[in-house]
Amino acid sequence: MEKNSPELNKAHLLYKKMGETPNQCVMRFKRENPDYSVVPMTYAGRLDPLAEGLLLVLSGDEIRDKERYLDLKKTYEFQMLWGFETDTLDVLGVVQGKEISLPTSIEIKKALENVPGKFEQRYPAYSSKPVNGLPLLEWARSGKLHEIEIPSHEVEIFEATHISRKTILGSDLLNEVKTKIKSVIGDFRQKEILNKWVELLVNNMYKEYTIDEISITVSSGFYVRQFVSDFSKSFDAVATTFYIKRTKIGEYEVGNTQ
């Protein structure tokens, strides 16, 4: 098929695997679909390396309509792991553990019913948002965050629902953390991060930790990681993002992926 064929100008609903970057997901699609090997492609909306789920990718002339796709609502299912915080706000970060007073499931459900509609959300320090010509994550990696002001932007929560609560032993938690970190390809400080998790959990193998699962529908540009951090602090506690799955983009849903 020719590079400029109209049939190649379309939107593709891909499923990004945990551990992949969006670019790696696009390259995998091109390898599996040789007709697109030289066709320009871009994704409309990022996903963190540890997140999985829907990735909307545009090819050919459809790229011109990228802004329209970026504005679509997104739905996520995510898990928050209580008693831990990291510099990336998810498992793929340097971790610290803290003793907390755990909120009850009822308290979480009530709080989710009252989350704001529109509000200003701060960008995570480890994100691609440019500040003074550099992505925030570059400022963070170089230890120079104190030299800049981290910006915020308006986002909106349309619906938030508590799905379930579970506990996990420290031994099982460490195994899952290892699997997640080892799934990521590229330089994301994996060795340093994994060593910190091992150091923290090796003497707590039989301790139980709590994970809450939540579903949330939000506007474009919303950061689940930042929400988890801010939401936990509303209870005078800490939590980090353990799992993210994007299940819906506008009317596109899991089950319709290529």
Q: Are strands 239-249 and 252-253 parallel, antiparallel or unpaired?
A: antiparallel
- Mean pLDDT (whole number) for 85-109: 98
Give bridge partners of residue 96 from the DSSP assignment: 85
Q: What is the pLDDT of residue 9?
A: 83
Confidence of residue 224 (pLDDT cuts 50, 70, 90): very high
- Mean pLDDT (whole number) for 236-249: 98
Per-residue model confidence as pLDDT tens digits over 47-71: 999 999 999 999 999 999 999 999 9
pLDDT for 148 beyond 50:
yes
Per-residue model confidence as pLDDT tens digits over 21-30: 999 999 999 9
Identify the weakest region by mean pLDDT among 110-119, 201-210, 247-256: 247-256
**Contact predicate 136/126, CB 8 Å:** yes
Q: What is the pLDDT of residue 16?
A: 98
Per-residue model confidence as pLDDT tens digits over 34-48: 999 999 999 999 999
pLDDT for 236 beyond 60:
yes
Percent of the chain with pLDDT over 70: 96
Q: What is the pLDDT of residue 1?
A: 44
Confidence of residue 113 (pLDDT cuts 50, 70, 90): very high
Phi (first) and psi of residue 153, to 5 degrees: -150, 160
**89-110 burial string, b = 16+ CB within 10 Å, else e?**
bbbbbebebeebebbeeeebee
- Mean pLDDT (whole number) for 206-212: 99
Q: What is the pLDDT of residue 3?
A: 52
pTM above 0.85, yes or no: yes
According to CATH, where is 3.30.2350.10 located in the chain? 74-250
**35-44 burial string, b = 16+ CB within 10 Å, else e?**
ebeebebebb
pLDDT for 4 beyond 60:
no
Confidence of residue 79 (pLDDT cuts 50, 70, 90): very high
CATH code given to domain 74-250: 3.30.2350.10
Per-residue model confidence as pLDDT tens digits over 149-176: 999 999 999 999 999 999 999 999 999 9
CA gap 7, 13 in Å, rounded = 16
